[in-house]
Structure 1
Amino acid sequence: METTQSARIALIEDDEIVRQATTQWLQLAGFDVVEFGLGNEAFDVIQHQAFDAIISDVRLPDIDGIMLLEKLIDSGVSAPVLIITGHGDVDMAVKALHLGAFDFIEKPFQPDRLSSRVSQAVEQFRAQTSTQLRGEYLASLSGLEKVLVGQSEVMKRLREQVARIALIDTNVIIYGETGCGKELVANSLHKGSGRKSHQFVPINCGAIPENLFESELFGHEAGAFTGAAKKRIGKLEYADKGTLFLDEIESMPAAMQVKVLRSLQENTVERVGGNKQINIDLRVVAAAKEDLREHPEFRQDLYYRLNVAQIYIPPLRERGEDILTLFEHFAKESNRNARSVSDADKKAMMSYGWPGNVRELRNVATRFALDNTMSVLEILSNRPVASSEPNSTGVPLAVQLHNFERKVLEEALTRHQGRINDVMQELDLPRRTLNQKMQKFGLNRSDFTDP
């Protein structure tokens, strides 16, 4: 009931005693109820105000419930409508269902049944509305929003910060965990700057062997060392008038830090084996997973040279409201006709810690979009736990329960060699429930019977 508390309900009932009693039942269940005695009166208000569900008696003094339902649908009201019927109005209720009513409930009804159906209607409506809003948001993306996707407040602030800092021609340090999009932010800074017509040059400091670092950054002259058959332009020189992105800068060897600092101070580079000072004009955007001030092997003078502006990218677990939006965005990128995500998959995604952040989410969404046989829950349950990542929550409870339930069923089917009646008796499950669970986990009776 927690998800439907504070839901706003329109109740249309001409019998004042029934209306008051129904209002009290719904209020006790946590709903905010607005009462109406006439259908047309209700229609005038519902057109202009937001409701999560509408409950209407089928027989009203001024208009019957079917006509009211048709008017609501024609006017574009999307909130679910539940029709309350008398014993002799079943045919009319069935017609209402064909027209698009969510459900009908016969009088007299139990209060719990009414509140339960209203809860289901509200939850379904909110889920559909949320999906529609995410779709509309994704369809409307442009510019920076199309690159740094998300509707959470932290992402809105991040986009504002990136747009602002991009216009300031200064060095920047970006902090964020693995997979959270540091290179995307760096590229966005470049594309929003006055240097956008020149090169954006990314380099991963953690991926370069130490003996090749100097040549990679500064270049070399022909014959500078064994194997240097011809002149090579280094990354700093290549990034002239553009942006140099130094990812995982905390991995840069100490000897290189001294040389990079000198180049940035003097705005020059000297190729390995050369004597000429080459002028450069570039912006440096550095990225790190940890605070460089706390890193024992990182030079403080280089830190202060780079740390003119600073950007922090929050991990995915701190922007949970963006998870489903990003998932749909990545799934549609891989397959325009990607299937919808089930409620169980949504819960699994929201409870998972995403130690690999947006990169991991993209991988899961791509696999889901390209493999129609796998649910998100199954994809997550088969992924290794990245326990080495900070603040990893490991395998979510939903995934653990999924795996445990499947194991119990498999073991029972194996013990009883696929005899369904024996499995039903051991696990105390009705046949229909057992069949549904076997279908859910892709288990076939024939796989457990003797050949």
Structure 2
Amino acid sequence: MKAELPADAVIQCRCVMLVDDEAMVRESTAQWLTMCGFHVVSFASAKEALKALTPVWPGVLLTDVRMPEMDGMTLMQEARAKVEGLPVILLTAHGDVDMAISAMHEGAYDFIEKPYVPDRLAETIQRACEKRRLMVENLRLQQDLATRSGLDAKLIGISPAITRVRDEILTLGQLETNVIIYGETGTGKELVAQCLHSFSNRANKPFVPLNCGAIPENLIESELFGHEAGAFTGANKRRIGKFEYASGGTLFLDEIESMPHSLQVKLLRALQEGVVERLGSNQPIPVDLRVVAASKVDLRDESSFREDLFYRLCVSELHLTPLRDRLDDVPLLFAHYVALAATDHQREPRPLSDHDIDALQSYAWPGNVRELKNVAIRFALDRRATVAELLSRGQPPLATVRINQRGLPLAVQVAEFEAQAIRKSLGVHGGNIKAVMEELDLPRRTLNQKMQRYGISRGEFVSDDE
């Protein structure tokens, strides 16, 4: 079967394994999907399809539900056991809400009733193929992560944005120019600065970071330039400043937009002349360093930032893309931090489910990579909580909700919400049924029926001690 697949279809994961026992439906569906640009491999039975399915299938499975010998639900279960993360779309002429809910909890990507709207089917398959492409790429990179080295191992991601940053770092690393890094809070500006240093000719000299916004104004001059004993009250001994200590290497000035205006003059002089003077001394000290500055705002628009200092610093620029605009990187980054947290706490890394990946890629990530790392650590340590539950704990709401994107019937969306609400309440109350009944205002019999319907077990939420 591998030989039948065009190279471009494999790379883009635009392959569809179509399974339907009705020849006319199978042929017309295959013809339509081929016209839409998909490569379709058709089968008349589930057993034939399952035999042909390989763990590296570069696409999705589209199957009818009502078929002889093996139905679509069983095929989905066995196919997903054989191919990790395989998106499965179910087609049926006998659809109902219960079956849709059951299919989603079993891991179906989507559930479409016959007669289907062709355009909607093609759009759904397109989204599923894109998800499969990301999963295949992420899986490949995760497998390679242990053997990766250099910049790829430090700046993890597959998006064009992170690839561009890696290329720019390798180029700028060989230059001696000062650099300004722009990016929102949590995008990894200090990590990028460290990479600029590590891949430069100064790599064997110090990398010295200083957060300009975290040091009181009356102390920042001493931090930068140092002081002699007795220079001011409390200066009991000589202190080497960051400029002098970083000589030969790289000085990283984070949040430089918050640097006091009076100190900007002295910073400019030190950069222009290559010398510093400790407080309380008139002795000039030559320094040779590269300055990498970072800012959350464009310094051109900051009236309080000296224009001449800006041009001295801004020989080169790096712009970091917020995480919400490179969601392709999120699952891989998240899995990386989960693995690190698991190693630190001597635990097995938790695998990500389809629903976890959906939640990760539906979230706006206002705190960027810093927030993602925090959630990943909690996910690694809390063995019961899903990603969606962790994101809902005191976090901003999800940017989008996948069940709405799929255009499912309202009853199905309501059922999904009910299941999430029950799981969340059980988690909060440690599986205490009485507390859940009171919080959700449900009779015990109704709660039991809903838990059974959605496949929710109280035991998942009860602590080991209990």
1:191 pairs with 2:198: yes
Which residue number corresponds to residue 27 of structure 2? 23
Contact 1:416–1:423 (CA<8 Å) still a contact in 2?
no
Which residue number corresponds to residue 207 of structure 1? 214
Which residue number corresponds to residue 305 of structure 2? 298
Partner SS for 1:310: strand
- CA offsets, 1:189-238, max 9 Å, x none? 11111111111100000111111111111011122222222211100001
Question: Of residues 419, 442, 445 in structure 2, which corresponds to 1:421?
Answer: 445
Which residue number corresponds to residue 431 of structure 2? none
- Deviation, 1:102, is 7.1
Rounded Cα–Cα distance in structure 1 between residues aligned with 2:342 and 2:441: 40
Aligned-partner residue type, residue 363 of structure 1: N
- CA offsets, 1:300-347, max 9 Å, x none? 111110000011101111111111111111111111532222333322
- CA offsets, 1:71-94, max 9 Å, x none? x4689768788999999x74x999
Question: Of residues 334, 340, 359 in structure 1, which corresponds to 2:351?
Answer: 340
1:165-176 map, 5 Å: 165-176=172-183
1:276 pairs with 2:287: no
- Deviation, 1:288, is 0.4
1:64-79 map, 5 Å: 70=51, 72=52
- CA offsets, 1:114-168, max 9 Å, x none? 9x99976989897666434313213243211111111111111111111111111
Contact 1:168–1:193 (CA<8 Å) still a contact in 2?
yes
Quick one: structure 1 residues 241 and 395, their matched pair in 2 at CA, closer, same or farther if it must change by over 3 Å? same
Rounded Cα–Cα distance in structure 2 between residues aligned with 1:161 and 1:436: 50
Contact 2:16–2:41 (CA<8 Å) still a contact in 1?
yes
Quick one: structure 1 residues 25 and 198, their matched pair in 2 at CA, closer, same or farther if it must change by over 3 Å? closer
Greater relative CO, 1 or 2 (CA 8 Å, sep 6+): 2
Query: 5+ residue gaps in structure 1?
Result: 1-5, 35-49, 59-64, 104-109, 386-393, 445-451
Quick one: structure 1 residues 54 and 369, their matched pair in 2 at CA, closer, same or farther if it must change by over 3 Å? farther
1:382 pairs with 2:393: yes
Aligned-partner residue type, residue 231 of structure 2: A
Contact 2:18–2:62 (CA<8 Å) still a contact in 1?
no
Rounded Cα–Cα distance in structure 2 between residues aligned with 1:255 and 1:176: 25
Contact 1:224–1:272 (CA<8 Å) still a contact in 2?
yes
Rounded Cα–Cα distance in structure 2 between residues aligned with 1:169 and 1:374: 48
Contact 1:205–1:249 (CA<8 Å) still a contact in 2?
yes
1:284-363 map, 5 Å: 284-335=291-342, 337-363=348-374
Rounded Cα–Cα distance in structure 1 between residues aligned with 2:335 and 2:459: 23
Quick one: structure 1 residues 251 and 374, their matched pair in 2 at CA, closer, same or farther if it must change by over 3 Å? same
- Deviation, 1:297, is 1.2
Rounded Cα–Cα distance in structure 2 between residues aligned with 1:158 and 1:301: 27
Quick one: structure 1 residues 262 and 414, their matched pair in 2 at CA, closer, same or farther if it must change by over 3 Å? same
Rounded Cα–Cα distance in structure 1 between residues aligned with 2:28 and 2:452: 37
Count of equivalent residues: 390
Which residue number corresponds to residue 223 of structure 1? 230
Q: Identify the range of structure 1 (412-421 vs 364-373) with the bigger mean alpha-carbon deviation.
A: 412-421
Which structure has the greater CA radius of gyration? 1
1:365 pairs with 2:376: yes
Rounded Cα–Cα distance in structure 1 between residues aligned with 2:328 and 2:60: 24
Q: Cα RMSD (Å) of the superposition?
A: 4.5
Rounded Cα–Cα distance in structure 1 between residues aligned with 2:209 and 2:341: 25
Rounded Cα–Cα distance in structure 1 between residues aligned with 2:60 and 2:172: 46
Partner SS for 1:142: coil
Query: 5+ residue gaps in structure 2?
Result: 1-12, 82-90, 112-124, 403-415, 427-433
Quick one: structure 1 residues 301 and 397, their matched pair in 2 at CA, closer, same or farther if it must change by over 3 Å? same
Question: Of residues 38, 43, 47 in structure 2, which corresponds to 1:55?
Answer: 43
1:150 pairs with 2:152: no
Aligned-partner residue type, residue 34 of structure 2: D
1:432 pairs with 2:452: yes
Which residue number corresponds to residue 159 of structure 1? 166
1:42-121 map, 5 Å: 54-57=42-45, 70=51, 72=52, 90=69, 112=93
Rounded Cα–Cα distance in structure 1 between residues aligned with 2:334 and 2:218: 41
Aligned-partner residue type, residue 141 of structure 2: Y
- CA offsets, 1:32-58, max 9 Å, x none? 399xxxxxxxxxxxxxxx967652448
Contact 1:55–1:81 (CA<8 Å) still a contact in 2?
no
Contact 2:50–2:75 (CA<8 Å) still a contact in 1?
no
Which residue number corresponds to residue 34 of structure 2? 32
TM-score where L is the length of structure 2: 0.70
Which residue number corresponds to residue 44 of structure 1? none
Contact 2:18–2:30 (CA<8 Å) still a contact in 1?
no
Partner SS for 2:253: strand
Quick one: structure 1 residues 438 and 222, their matched pair in 2 at CA, closer, same or farther if it must change by over 3 Å? same
Which residue number corresponds to residue 37 of structure 1? none
- Deviation, 1:398, is 4.7
Rounded Cα–Cα distance in structure 2 between residues aligned with 1:69 and 1:341: 24
Partner SS for 2:247: coil
TM-score where L is the length of structure 1: 0.72
Rounded Cα–Cα distance in structure 1 between residues aligned with 2:370 and 2:446: 46
Rounded Cα–Cα distance in structure 2 between residues aligned with 1:120 and 1:98: 12
Quick one: structure 1 residues 335 and 54, their matched pair in 2 at CA, closer, same or farther if it must change by over 3 Å? farther
